[in-house]
Amino acid sequence: MNVRPEDLSAIRCLGYTDTEARFLYLVATHSGYFMQRQYLTFTDQSHGWLVNRLITRILSRRHARATAYANNTHVYNLYSRRIYDIIDKDNLRNRRRQSIEMIHTRLMILEFILANLDENYLETEADKTDYFACQMGISLTALPGRMYYGIKSAANTRRYFVDRFPIFLPASHNRLGLAPVVTFTYCDTPGAGLFPYFTHLRQYENLLRQLPSFNFIFASHEPSKFDRARAFFAKTFGPKGQPDTIRLRHYFELRKLWETQHTADLTRADRDFLRDATRQFQAKKYEAAYQKWAAEGLSEDQIRVLISDPTNYKTGSFHTYVQPESYAIFSTESSRDYRRPPKDRSPSKLSVSASAPCEQ
């Protein structure tokens, strides 16, 4: 993971140590939320002094707020705009309050990042769109995105990769044993079914099909989900995932009517079908097949030969990863928002042993 020295320097100028600055950079970039245990993991400590010092600083400076969940376990939201501004990530939504489900997912993401710090992550939306659209030449329409609507129509904004799941280029001899190709990660929320995963994979399908090769990691605290997750991946990207040529030819016929200005012949159902199929059949091979079909009137068998590409469905490599924590603390949420530490439990009053290590 490459962190710009100027970003670390900017966070240190707010009164944090180098270790604290690195951790806060990771939190701001990838999750917006963290727990004390995760900082202890990052610093390779088993208890108290370093994490107490960090929590004291971020709360007293109002850079973060804390909320108590089950067993009085606190989750911290790094919300200060000042921190995001100084590392040029002021447009991230990580600083905002999120639902419990989203906080759960963000903690799982941070857990994965902290366990795999050596990878070259595409950290921001800009990094990801630049890699796929500019460097790989993939259309923006194929990237997973969501439209955010403003009060006025002119304020509508389309954002990409809003799920924030890690995407990275594996380091050579990486600990996960991955091929050196772009890698996508899905962090599963324990207890939930696999429907969110199915939806996620469908949202990424257009992008993944246009890549020459890729890795896909299904990360979960529940290994019992691995077989079903792998089976759905194989069904989607295996040979049986090849599009139905009947549907493809129907798309060609409706598209030709649309392009030749015979729109009056299209029913409402035809228009809905055309809209969905246009998103599905974006790859260059479908465009080439359409042009040849329009010129020569190909049969379904001839279309099948044109789009048949067995390697296109074997480029995705599926991997599983066991997340060490389930974060069962979200069964109960405290109603109190600890934006400021209570006077009787202020971190500034924590007793510290004179022999405790202190980082300069």
Is 147 in the same domain as 114? no
**Structure-model confidence comparison of residues 348 and 142, the more confident one:** 142
> For residue 56, what pLDDT is reported?
95
Residue 350 has pLDDT above 60, yes or no: no
Quick check: 185 and 165 in contact, CB under 8 A? yes
Q: How far is CA 202 from CA 167, 170, 197, 230, 359, in A?
A: 17, 24, 9, 14, 47
Residues 6+ apart with CB under 8 A from 114: 26, 38, 41, 42
Measured distance CA(210)–CA(349) in Å, rounded: 57
Measured distance CA(30)–CA(107) in Å, rounded: 9
Is 14 in the same domain as 68? yes
> For residue 356, what pLDDT is reported?
31
Q: In sequence order, which ranges of the chain are alpha helices (DSSP H)?
A: 5-12, 18-30, 36-43, 49-60, 81-86, 100-115, 125-129, 195-209, 226-237, 245-259, 268-280, 284-296, 300-307
- Give per-residue burial for 269-286: e unless 16+ CB within 10 Å, then b: ebeebbeebeeebbbeeb
Is 214 in the same domain as 184? yes
In the block, tokens 């022999």 appear at: 355
In a domain, 163, yes or no: yes
CA 143 to chain centre: 12
Q: What is the mean pLDDT of the chain?
A: 84
Residue type (1 letter), 80: S
Is 13 in the same domain as 50? yes
Which domain covers residue 96, as residue numbers?
A: 5-118+328-349
> For residue 81, what pLDDT is reported?
92
Q: What is the share, in percent, of the chain residues with pLDDT greater than 70? A: 86
Span 181-197, average pLDDT: 91
> For residue 45, what pLDDT is reported?
84
Measured distance CA(293)–CA(145) in Å, rounded: 31
In a domain, 359, yes or no: no
Measured distance CA(120)–CA(330) in Å, rounded: 31
Last residue of a domain, one of 200, 219, 241: 241
Quick check: 165 and 118 in contact, CB under 8 A? no
Kindly report the CATH number assigned to the domain that includes residue 44: 1.10.10
Q: How far is CA 344 from CA 55, 73, 140, 341, in A?
A: 16, 17, 53, 8
Last residue of a domain, one of 185, 215, 241: 241
Residues 6+ apart with CB under 8 A from 238: 313, 314
Is 23 in the same domain as 84? yes
> For residue 64, what pLDDT is reported?
95
Residues 6+ apart with CB under 8 A from 53: 20
Residue 186 has pLDDT above 50, yes or no: yes
In this structure, are strands 33-34 and 64-69 parallel, antiparallel, or unpaired? unpaired
Residue 10 has pLDDT above 80, yes or no: yes
pLDDT band at 338 (very low <50, low <70, confident <90, very high): very low
> For residue 347, what pLDDT is reported?
45
pLDDT in tens, 122-164: 999 999 999 999 999 999 999 999 887 776 666 778 889 999 9
In the block, tokens 């279309």 appear at: 303
Last residue of a domain, one of 193, 214, 241: 241
pLDDT in tens, 286-337: 888 889 888 888 877 778 777 765 544 447 899 999 998 888 887 644 444 4
> For residue 242, what pLDDT is reported?
57
CB atoms within 10 A of CB 239: 12
Residue 282 has pLDDT above 70, yes or no: yes
In a domain, 81, yes or no: yes
CB atoms within 10 A of CB 309: 12
Is 158 in the same domain as 193? yes
- The domain total for the chain is 3
In a domain, 355, yes or no: no
